[in-house]
Chains A and B, each alone.
Chain A
Amino acid sequence: MPTIEDLQRDTDSAVAVAAPTSVATPAPPRTFTPRKKKKPWKSWLLFLLFAGPNVALLVVFTYKPLLQSLYYSTLQWNLGSASAIPVGLGNYVAWFTDPGTSRVVTVTLIFTVATVGGGMVIGLLFAVLLNRKLHGRGAARTIVVAPYVLSGVAVGLLWLFVFDPNFGITAALLDAIGVASPPWYNDPHWALVMVIIVYLWKNVGYVALIYLAALQSVPRDLLEAASLDGASPVRAFRNIVLPLLGPTTFFLSITTLLSSLQSFDIIQAMTRGGPLEGTTTMMYQIYQEGFQAGRAGYSSAVATILFAVLLVVTLIQMKYVEKRVHY
């Protein structure tokens, strides 16, 4: 006999549709199939009324454009122009052979690894700190999360002033220890460091929050037992807490990767991809090629490449999570 879970999982299979007809089997509780069997199309129609609009919007504004983007990537086509020349894989060849591409890929990799990896490490540190029984930790938690709800543009602009090489806070702090402020605005490498710092400042609170929730569900007696056994806090953390945080870490690795690859606001507000394209990530390149240079076909090719990479990475992560986590 199928369990409730089976029925829920397989509602699209013949078993589930047929189940309510057998009198002895109670109807699957959550679908409320009436005792007297009604015509199934009535439920189908209701389903379409309830879920249809959302699915239609997804088809029109997500899935159809996804295919269109794939098609556009084979065209030499300027945004807004009526004519387009099919070029096959020309745009892809152009991107892979462009001398600037290796820089864009490097910038994207550095930005992604630094924001995702750095975010997880700092977020976990904050979470461990906020999990300790300290006075004022509730208020501290709120303050740490606060930047996450602010507009990325506003955050970028206010940090631009913080980083002002002459009149900003960082310049004053560095001056206090006798170091000259790096040229945040004019040097491509320092500019990249700058936008990474600002991205981390804005988003680390979210990571801390999720880790904190996970830490609070770690059984206390487990840690007490370890402490009685003479394990140091550091060892207990490494051998007991970290493994228990595994599922959370994988969840965060997917969500923070997705949002890091989509980051646009901070770069636009602070550097517009410069100086010397030192902060041009692939995502920013898609915007620049498509809407500044108007090369919609080329931009679509970059978008397709990025999406393919994103898809592969996410699917690998998910496969890994599935193996490690029991739902």
Chain B
Amino acid sequence: MATQTRTTRRRKPLQLGGYLGLVVAVAIMILPLVWMFLAGFKERDEIYTVPIQWLPEAYDLSNYAAALAAVPFGSFFLNSTITTVIGAGLKMLLGLTTAYAVVFLEFPFKKFVFGLVIFALLVPQQIVMIPNFTLVASLGWINTYQGIIVPGLASAFGTFLFRQHFLTLPISILEAAALDGASHWTRLWRFIVPISAPTIAAVALVSIVSEWNEYLWPLLVVDRSDMMTLPVGLMLLQNNDGVTNWGVLMAGTVLVTVPVLIAFFALQKKIIAGLTAGGVTG
């Protein structure tokens, strides 16, 4: 009885502290985003004011119109979509075929090949950017989609995750496929990909997110505004003005972040599963 009251007495403030912590954590994460979103609607005099003013007087879209007029956001959006869809798509394809080969096919130097793929995870893109830039320039790929996509196309992390997953697949299904006389290509697409759909979707979403946000490489190989992706193009809004026009800049930032946020909240279960997959297998 005595212990009972002791624990309840202790639990009450602990619960309260828990909720307080949760509120603080959420506020820290969400307030800057709200601040950005509201600033997109503010007039100059509502931004440059002390004490700060949280809510705009009116929700008009003049900052958005100014942002869209200053830089070609339509092209940025199109370029981001094209490079993300093709880049992430091909990356998944390469990851799936490589993982299939490593798990299901015979090759004398298989371990070495897999090691080669995994070790690439330790080589930061920036270490190799000067040789890659020189190569892309000599191919005439500056300001092209292939210049943006191809150097980062190889799949290392995806291959690793798919291999881990393939090793857990039930053997019986695959044996049936082998007895059917299905070719390896058919086995991959008709049997393995369908039963691996959740893993593939999770890895694909993470791959799409990182492709969409890629900044340094497109910055190096693109200098024409009509070929820029969203993150590269967004910086033009900052460069164009001598003094920062926060309203317009925040409107542009909203245009870049809100589609991703909507997609994230809609697909959060899958994206979180994809992010966690790396940690759990590691």
Contacts and interface: CB of A to CB of B under 8 A. Distances in A.
Interface of A: 8-12, 17, 29-34, 40, 43-44, 46-48, 50-51, 53-55, 57-58, 60-66, 68-69, 72, 79-80, 126, 129-130, 132, 134, 136-137, 140-155, 157-162, 164, 166-169, 171-172, 175, 201, 205-206, 209-210, 213-214, 233, 248, 251-252, 255, 258, 261-262, 264-265, 268-269, 283, 286-287, 290-291, 296, 299-300, 303-304, 306-307, 310-311, 314
Contacts of B135: 60-61, 65
A155 B276 CA distance: 22
A303 B231 contact: no
A255 B256 CA distance: 26
Contacts of A153: 215, 231-232, 234-235, 256
A303 B128 CA distance: 8
A260 B253 CA distance: 23
A311 B122 CA distance: 7
Given A154-B253, A159-B32, A30 B104 contact: yes
Interface residues of B, number: 107
A152 B213 contact: yes
Contact of A151 (B26, B95, B133, B231): B231
Chain A contact residues, majority secondary structure: helix
B193 interface: no
A62 B260 contact: no
Contacts of A134: 15, 18-19, 22
Given A50-B101, A54-B98, A161 B250 contact: yes
Interface string B97-138: 110111111111111110011001111111111111111010
A136 B116 CA distance: 44
Contact of A79 (B130, B151, B249, B282): B130
A136 to B, nearest CB: 7
Interface in B179-200: 184
Contacts of B159: 54
A8 B21 CA distance: 48
Contact of B268 (A142, A152, A167, A168): A142
A146 B51 contact: no
B124 A310 contact: yes
B56 interface: no
B23 to A, nearest CB: 9
Contact of B151 (A61, A158, A210, A248): A61
